[in-house]
């Protein structure tokens, strides 16, 4: 097993990383580490700044991510401020902001960053398009999951089991991209 620290304070994210990475031979370990999230325009900028900060603390073999919900009618809000918006507005507050709006298109984005000995640092990104529900539905998942219908689905992320969500979600897709890049880089190091 290859040890890999997941830096997050979100138990839901940890479960998603574990479900995707353990079957591939990674010993996923939780590491709650405080990191300053800069104010930036993109998730990648936030992740790169966090990677730099943690490497300066001499941490190695870790993965972190930043995710956001981008709502078209709100000009991309909450976007990079999703964690703050969730804490202050919650799902109900976001739904109130959309009252009377016909355009409910939105997407989730995820950017994963890692720093690994012998392999280096890299990022992986993905998104999942969908629409915002009229009201919350489902108690599974976390964050804005109960108000997001992924494209082509009739249930919210909050109504999906972890395996189903990981198949189509922004984080699930970003993890798959991350794993592919990781496997290529590990193969190059072994040669």
Beta bridge partners of 142: none
Q: Which of 5, 41, 65, 66 is catalytic?
A: 66
Q: Evaluate the omega torsion of the peptide bond into residue 78 and state whether it is cis, within 30 degrees of 0.
A: yes
Helix count and strand count (H, E) for the chain: 6, 6
Q: Which helix (H) or strand (E) holds 108?
A: strand 105-116
Backbone angles phi, psi at 145, to 5 degrees: -50, -40
Q: Which of 163, 144, 167, 147 is nearest to 155 (CA)?
A: 147
Query: Nearest CA to 83 among 146, 17, 10?
Result: 10
The helix, strand and coil proportions of the chain, stated in percent and rounded to the nearest 5, come to 45, 25, 30
Q: How many CA atoms lie within 13 A of 182 on its CB side?
A: 23
Q: 66 an active-site residue?
A: yes
Tokens standing for 128? 């999942």
106, β-bridge pairs:
71, 130
Q: What residues act catalytically? A: 66
């Amino acid at each position: 097993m290859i040890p890999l620290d997941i830096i997050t304070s979100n138990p839901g994210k940890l479960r998603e990383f574990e479900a995707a990475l353990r079957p591939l031979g990674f010993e996923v370990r939780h590491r709650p580490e405080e990191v300053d999230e800069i104010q930036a325009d993109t998730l990648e900028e936030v992740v790169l700044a966090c990677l730099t900060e943690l490497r300066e603390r001499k941490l190695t073999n870790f993965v972190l991510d930043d995710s956001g919900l981008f709502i078209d009618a709100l000009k991309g809000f909450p976007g990079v401020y999703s964690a703050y918006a969730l804490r202050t507005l919650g799902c109900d507050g976001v739904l109130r902001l959309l009252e009377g709006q016909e355009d409910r298109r939105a997407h989730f984005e995820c950017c994963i960053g890692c720093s690994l000995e012998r392999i280096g640092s890299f990022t992986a990104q993905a998104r999942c398009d969908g629409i915002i529900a009229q009201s919350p539905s489902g108690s599974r998942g976390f964050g804005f999951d109960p108000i997001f219908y992924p494209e082509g689905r009739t249930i919210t992320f909050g109504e999906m089991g972890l395996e189903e969500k990981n198949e189509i979600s922004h984080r699930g897709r970003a993890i798959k991209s991350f794993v592919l890049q990781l496997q290529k880089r590990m193969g190059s190091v072994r040669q």
